[in-house]
Structure 1
Amino acid sequence: MRFTEPRRWLAAAVAAASAAITGCGTKPPAPTPTLPPGAVTPSQATPLPPARDWDEYRRRAAERLVEANPERSYLGPVPEPLLAIPVLEIELEHDGNVRQVRVMRVPSQAKDTTQLAIDAVRRAAPFGDVSKLPRPWKFVEVFLFDDERRFKPRTLDD
């Protein structure tokens, strides 16, 4: 069969695709819901108590990073050698929402881990009120990635 008109070709393609999907007896996979940047997940609904200093705040933020990214993080011993070590500076609004993320170090290999770290930060926000802490309202986190592209915040590596 020859299709000389674009409409006929498009209609035939849509009909064939529809028949293929329904003929298989399977449904197409449902889209995975994604949260917009800054959206609050159920684990983040409870605000963190105010931190006394930046060291305490960084520790709580690192714990929040792991809590918000359970399948993308680890807490055990750091493997040798590490796959990648991106470093981010996270600038905050007074309420702990992320204002800006600056990349301080891009690893020489597995450069994609930098974006994985940025995405993890955005998923974990907000990090808690910083209005009582001294300015500038920012902190640096080092992400220790293993071969499975899971991270551990350096702050939690005792």
Structure 2
Amino acid sequence: MRCIKWLWASVAGLLAGCTSLVLPGLAGLAGVEAASLGNTPAGAASTWSEYKLRAARRIHAANPGETFSGPLPDPLQSIPVLEVRLNRDGSVQNIVVLRTPRQSPETVQMAIRAIRRAAPFEPVGHLPRPWQFSETFLYNESLKFQLRTLAEAP
């Protein structure tokens, strides 16, 4: 079985370099999301995972006075979770609150403002629908945040 996965991963790698063929069955084998083998504009994120990481970096960079670095405190003061829905051009269509914290509920509006300051994001027309990503804001007691996407990034 391991040999078959390796073979399919190799085939997917070869095809990614020479065609725009989409092979949905290979998505998990070679780290290739089925969205875009060859259809990605130069320099654009080719997967939603890469897009979310770039968006998180953009949010962080657009809000230097509202972020903190270093280890996460235990416990965190507040953890709002937002879903950002995008238009084809990367502009924000809508922001949906997925989790409102009981402590410091004002952090929801703070997080929404942080996203709006970072917008617009990169165009998403080449990625599969729905054009959206979620982000978890990790607030400390000083109401400064880290983004879960960046806290988990290698």
Gap regions ≥5 residues in structure 2: 1-41
Partner AA of 2:46 in structure 1: R
**Counterpart in 2 of 1:81?**
75
How many residues align? The count is 111
* Counterpart among 39, 50, 71 of residue 44 in structure 2: 50
1:126 is aligned to 120
CA distance in 2 between partners of 1:103 and 1:60 (Å): 21
Q: Is the Cα contact below 8 Å between 1:66 and 1:74 reproduced in 2? A: no
Aligned to 1:151: 145
> Who is 2:57 aligned against?
63
Find the counterpart in structure 1 of residue 136 from structure 2: 142
CA contact (8 A) 1:143 1:151 kept: yes
**Counterpart secondary structure, 2:57:** helix
Q: Distance in 2 between matches of 1:69 and 1:122?
A: 10
Provide the rounded CA distance (Å) in 2 between the counterparts of 1:153 and 1:77.
12
2: CA distance, partners of 1:104 / 1:121: 15
Unpaired segments ≥5 residues, structure 1: 1-47
CA distance in 2, matches of 1:145, 1:133: 30
Counterpart selection for 1:93 from 87, 97, 107: 87
Higher relative contact order (CA 8 A, sep 6+): 1
**Could you report, residue by residue, the CA deviation over 1:71-98 in whole angstroms, capped at 9, with x for unpaired residues?**
0012321111100000000000111110
CA contact 1:87–1:103 (8 Å) conserved in 2: yes
CA distance in 2, matches of 1:77, 1:137: 31
Give TM-score, length-normalised by structure 1. 0.68
Q: CA RMSD in A?
A: 1.2
Find out whether 1:107 has 2:136 as its counterpart: no
Q: Higher Cα Rg: structure 1 or 2? A: 1
Residue aligned with 2:129, SS: coil
Structure 1 residue 49 displacement after superposition? 3.4
User: Which runs of 4 or more aligned residues in structure 1 lie more than 6 Å from their structure 2 counterparts after TM superposition?
Assistant: none
TM-score, structure 2 as length reference: 0.70
